[in-house]
Amino acid sequence: MIRFSFPRLSAPTSIPSLSLGLMLGLILALGLAMATPSLAEEKQAASSPTATKGGDPKALDDLDRPIGAANAPLTVFEYSSLTCSHCAAFHKDILPKIKAAYIDTGKVRWVVRDYPLDGVALRAAVAARCADPAQFFTLIDLLYHEQAKWAGDRDPQTAVMRYARLSGLNDDKLKTCNQGDRITNQILAKRQVADTNFKIQSTPSFVVGNEMVIGARDYATFEAAINKALAAVAAPAPAPTAPKPAP
C-alpha cells in the first residue's frame, strides 16, 4: 500500500468478502441497471464550466487533488475508475514505485482524474472528491486495496461510506458537497473533456507529456515514458531563426 504522510485509515472489518465472479456480476448489474449516467446527465455535465471547449485539458481545477511538488517539471494525469480491477492493480503494484522514484523526489506531480465506467464507480468517486482533500489519496488507496469487498457489496454506496467515514465524511456532508449533483456533473464533464482531448477508451489511461500510456503496464514502461517526457521538458528551446534579408 502506498504510504502517504496523512493519518492512516483502517479498513472496516464488517464488510464481507465476496467471490470474484459474484463481485463482477454485481458490478455489471448495478452499473447497467441502476447507475449508468443518463443522457440528461451527460447533457447537463456538458454545460458545466469544467467542460468548456477550447480550455486547457491539463489545467487543474478545484476537483483535482495533485500529489508531488507544485513546481515539478512534469505533471502526469491518470484517468481511472474505482471499480476497475486493472486500476486497482496499478495502485497496488506500480504507483508505489513511481511515487518513490519520481513523485517523492520532486520530478513529477501526479493527478488522478475520475473516468467512471459505471454508476458504482461514479458514486464512489463523488464520495472521494467530497472527503477531506488532505485525505483523498489515502482514501482512494484504501478503496483500491479493498475494492473486492465494497464494489461487490449488495449496497456498494453504503459500503463506500463505511470507508469514507474514516476520512471524516458523513451522509450530511456528502449531501451538502454534492448538492444539485454538482460534483457528479463535474466528474462527468471532465470525463467528456478526456474523451475529446485524449481519446480515452479504457482505464487506466495516463497522459505523460505528449504521449499516452494505456493500461496497468509494468514499471519499466512508465519509467521510459516519464524519462522521455522529462527529457523533453528539460531540452532547450530551439534558437529563433534569423529573418531572411529582403531581396
Q: What pLDDT is attached to residue 4?
A: 40
How much is the pTM? 0.75
Q: What pLDDT is attached to residue 236?
A: 73
Domain layout of the chain by residue ranges: 20-228
Q: What pLDDT is attached to residue 25?
A: 42
Q: What pLDDT is attached to residue 1?
A: 52
Q: From edge to edge, which strands make up the β-sheet containing 74-80?
A: 108-114, 74-80, 205-208, 211-214
- Lowest model confidence (mean pLDDT) among 27-36, 61-70, 115-124, 131-140: 27-36
Tell me, which fold does domain 20-228 have in CATH? Answer: Glutaredoxin (3.40.30)
- Dihedral pair phi/psi, residue 35, rounded to 5°: -135, 5
Cα 188–167–78 angle (5° rounding)? 40
Q: What pLDDT is attached to residue 47?
A: 35
Is pLDDT of 215 > 60? Answer: yes
- Lowest model confidence (mean pLDDT) among 23-27, 61-65, 73-77, 209-213: 23-27
Cα 70–74–77 angle (5° rounding)? 90
